[in-house]
Chain A
Amino acid sequence: MAEKLLEVTDLHVQFATEDGVVRAVDGVSFALERGKVLGIVGESGSGKSVTAMTLLGLTRGVNAKFEGAIEYKGEDLLKMSEAELRRFRGNELAMIFQDPMTSLNPVYRIGAQITEAIRTHEDVSKQTARNRAVQLLRQVGIPEPEERVDDYPHQFSGGMRQRAMIAMALSNNPDVLIADEPTTALDVTIQAQIIELIDKLKDDFNSSVILITHDLGVVADIADDIAVMYAGRIVEYGTKRQLFYDPQHPYTWGLLGSIPRLDKEKPEKLASIAGAPPSLINLPQGCKFRPRCPHAFAKCTEHPPLENRVGDSPPHLDRCWLTVEEKRSLRDLTIRGEAAA
C-alpha cells in the first residue's frame, strides 16, 4: 500500500451571499496516495475548483463556512491557522492555475517570481535560488533558460507561461501538485505537451497530482483515479478503467458523449447534456442531476448515497438509483445521445 498523502473527509464548503447560502462543496471525500494522479471532472459550477482551492486554504473568508477534514500527512489543514498553513502552501502543496495569462505578475521577471517562491520557504542565497530557477525552467522545457529567466511574462507564449507556472509550482519540490484546468486556455497541441510534462515531472519529483478539468479526454492518459463531480458532490468515483469502460452515472455518460470523437464514425448529432447545472443556492431535491437526466424515475426524488453498487474492487462508487443491469443496458444509447429524455 502506497503512502497516503492526503485524505479529504466529508468536506463541506458554504458561502453566504446576498441571495442565499451557496453550497459549493457538499460532502466530498477522497484520498490521494503518493505518486498517483487523481482527476476531478465536472462542469463549471460543480465545485471542483472550490474543492481544490480549499485544500490550500484559498477560499477562507468571512463569508465562508467549512466542515469536514482535510488531513495531510496526519495534520488537519482545515483547522490550521493561516500562519501554520503558509508553511505548507507552495511548499508541500502547490497549485497551477487555469489562466497562465493572469496568474503571473506582469511587472516582475519570470526568474524573480520563481526565486521568490523558493526563498519564501528556504533560506538560500539569491544566486542559489536563481540557479535553481534556471534549472527548473530547463526541466519544464523552456529553451535557453539562462536567458529566458530574465524575461517578463509578456515575452512568453501561452504554453511557455504555463510551463513557467509549473516551474514555480515545483520550485519547492511539493508532494501534492494541484492543477486547476491547466490546459483549458491553451491550444490542443500545447495541451498535449503540458499534460505529458505534468506526467513526467510527477515521476521526477515523486509527487502526487490532482488534475481538475471539464474534459474527460484530458484525463484519459494521465489519471489513475477519477472523481466526477456534480453540484458540489462526487457522483461517481473509480479507477480510470472503471470510469471509461464501465461508467455508472448518467452524468458521466453525458460527459463522455459530448466529447467529439476522432476515433469513431461521425455521429449524425453530438450527444449533449440538456439544460445547465443547477444553482447551488437552490438545489433540486433528491438526486441533483434528476432535472437533466434522461432516465430519472420516481425514486430519484430521494437522495442517492455514494455506494459501491457494482461491487468492484477497488471500489467503484456512484450515486444513481438505477440497477447495475439497467445502467449497463441504457448506457451506450445515452453516450450516443439516442436516449429519449
Chain B
Amino acid sequence: MSANRGEPLVETIHLKKYFPIRKGLLQREVARVHAVDDVTLQVFKGETVGLVGESGCGKSTFGRTVVRLLEPTEGDIRFEGRSIAKLGPRALRPLRREMQMVFQDPYSSLNPRKRVGSIIGDPMKIHRTVGKRERRQRVQELLETVGLSPEHYNRFPHEFSGGQRQRIGVARALSLRPKLIVADEPVSALDVSIQAQMINLLEELQDEFKLTYIFIAHDLGVVRHVSDRIAVMYLGKLVELSPAEELYSRPIMPYTEALLSAVPIPDPDLSEQRQRIVLEGDVPSPISPPSGCRFHPRCRYATEICSQVEPPLADYGNGHLAACHHPLNVDQETLRQVQTAPGSPRAADESALPKDTSGQSQPVPEPSP
C-alpha cells in the first residue's frame, strides 16, 4: 500500500499513552489507564484517515498525542520523517504551526470573551506569520473560506449557532496553514443537516489547502464520506485498518461489524430486515483491560483462544489489516497468505495468526438461560 503513497506525513510507531492513577500520601502510582496501547499507524500526505471507536477507546488520546498535546509514554511519533516524540516545548513550537486541531464541542472550545477576529487571528500573532494589517485581511478571507461573512470579524462566539461556531473553529485551525489537521469529533455535536454542511466544507478545504486529516468519530456513517482509510480502535488497540469502502463491504473484525450494524438506516423496511448486532454493555475499563483479545467479553464469535492470546495485527492484502482470531468475510485463499503486519503490537503472539480452516467464523450460540 505504501508503494504509491510516498512518504507518510505523520506516523506513530508502537505508540503508547498511559495515564497513571496515583493514590495516597506519596502519590504512588497504583494503576494505569491504558488509553493508547501500542498503535502503529501511518498517515500519508493528502489523505484522510478516519479514526473510529466508542467512547473510551483512546481515539481522542491518540489524536492529541500525535499533535503532542499529550506526552507519549512509549514509542515514537514521526512528522515528515523526523521524530517528535521527545521534543521539548521550544523545539515543538515551529511544529505547532504544521499541526492543528478542531475540537468536538463548539461551545467550550472558543473563548467566550474573545472576538472572532482575535480567535482566528491570534495564532498568526503568536507565530508572527503575518503583520498586523495583513492579519485582519487574512482573517476575513478565512471567514469567507469557511462560509461565514467578513463582517463577523468583531462578533463574539455567543452570537453564532453551533454550526457557525464549528466553522470558526475550522478557520482558527486553518489560520497557520497547517499540513495536518486532527479533527476530534468535529460534527458529533451538530444537527444532522448541519453535519452534512460541515463534512462538505472539510472536504473542500482539503482540496484547496492540500490538507491531511485525522478525522475522529464514533459514527461509521460520518467517516465514510471523508475518509480514504479508516482505522478502528478498541480499548487502546488498533483492531482494524482498511481502505474506506472495503471496510463497509468487507469488515473483518467482529467489532467493526457490530459498529456498522449500529448505524441507523433511514429506511424502515431495510432497517427491519437488517440483522442488528447490539453490543451488550459498555467498553470495559481501560485500567485493567481484558486479557487476550480485548474485545472478547463482548464478541459473539469469541472462543477460548480469544481470552488467552492477543491476536497479532494481520495483513489481509490491499492494505487491509485486522487483529482477530476469527476473521469475518475472508476466504481460504486469503487466509493462507495472511501475514503479520509490520506494526503489530509487541505483546501480540505472532504465531497466532488466524487459520480457521472451517471457512467463515460462526457466532457462538448464546447459552440458553
Contact = CB atoms under 8 A, between A and B. Distances in A.
B225 A191 contact: no
Contact of A261 (B164, B193, B266): B266
B278 A196 contact: yes
A215 interface: yes
B31 interface: no
B197 interface: yes
A13 B278 CA distance: 40
Nearest to A157: B282
B57 to A, nearest CB: 9
Nearest to A269: B200
A287 to B, nearest CB: 17
B259 interface: yes
Given A43-B194, A44-B161, A158-B55, A256 B266 contact: yes
Contacts of B192: 214-217, 255, 258-259
B281 A43 contact: no
Most buried by B among A189, A270, A276: A189
A58 interface: no
A254 B219 CA distance: 20
A217 B164 contact: no
A271 interface: yes
Contact of B220 (A216, A256, A262, A263): A262
B206 interface: no
A72 B220 CA distance: 41
B210 to A, nearest CB: 19
A61 B268 CA distance: 40
A266 B259 CA distance: 18
B347 interface: no
A23 interface: no
Contact of A258 (B161, B195, B220, B245): B195
A39 B260 CA distance: 24
A218 interface: yes
B314 to A, nearest CB: 24
Contact of B260 (A43, A45, A259, A262): A262
Given A187-B55, A262-B220, A262-B224, A193 B265 contact: no
Nearest to B201: A272
Contacts of B268: 220-221, 240-241, 244
A192 interface: yes
Given A216-B266, A240-B268, A254-B193, A266 B225 contact: yes
Interface in B30-64: 54-56
A189 B224 contact: no
Most buried by B among A218, A240, A255, A258: A258
Nearest to B195: A258
Contact of A272 (B161, B200, B265, B272): B200
Interface string B167-211: 000000000000000000000000111111101100100000000
B225 A220 contact: no
Contacts of B264: 188, 191-192, 215, 217-218, 220-221, 259
Contacts of B281: 143
Interface range, A side: 35 or more
A191 B258 CA distance: 13
Contact of B221 (A159, A196, A220, A259): A259
A305 interface: no
Most buried by A among B196, B248, B264, B265: B264
Nearest to A216: B266
Contacts of A262: 220-221, 224, 248, 260, 263, 265
A192 B54 CA distance: 13
Report whether over half of chain B's contact residues are helix, strand or loop; otherwise say mixed: helix
Contacts of A270: 196, 199-200, 225
Given A189-B54, A214-B191, A260 B282 contact: no
Given A260-B225, A262-B220, A276-B161, A193 B55 contact: no
Contacts of A78: none
Interface in A228-271: 240-241, 244, 254-263, 266, 269-271
A189 B258 contact: yes
A240 B225 CA distance: 27
B22 to A, nearest CB: 19
A311 to B, nearest CB: 22
A297 B196 CA distance: 25
B196 A271 contact: yes
Given A215-B192, A217-B264, A262-B263, A190 B282 contact: yes
B224 A266 contact: yes
Contacts of B197: 272-274
Given A260-B225, A262-B220, A220 B267 contact: yes
Nearest to A156: B282
Nearest to B281: A143
B262 interface: yes
A280 interface: no
Given A216-B266, A221-B271, A244-B268, A260 B193 contact: no
B262 A260 contact: no
Contacts of A272: 193-194, 196-197, 200
B60 to A, nearest CB: 13
A260 B258 contact: no
A149 interface: no
Interface string A33-62: 000000000011100000000000000000
Interface string B63-85: 00000000000000000000000
B330 to A, nearest CB: 21
A160 interface: yes
A260 B265 CA distance: 9
Contacts of A220: 264-268, 271
B218 interface: yes
Interface string B271-296: 11000101101100000000000000
7 pairs of A and B residues whose beta carbons are closest in the complex: A217-B264, A272-B196, A258-B196, A260-B221, A270-B196, A217-B266, A192-B262
26 contacts: A43-B193, A143-B281, A158-B55, A187-B55, A188-B259, A190-B282, A192-B264, A214-B192, A214-B193, A215-B264, A216-B266, A217-B192, A220-B267, A221-B264, A240-B268, A254-B193, A258-B193, A260-B199, A260-B225, A261-B266, A262-B220, A270-B196, A270-B199, A272-B196, A273-B196, A276-B164
Given A221-B268, A259-B264, 6 more contacts: A43-B194, A187-B218, A261-B221, A262-B224, A272-B193, A276-B163
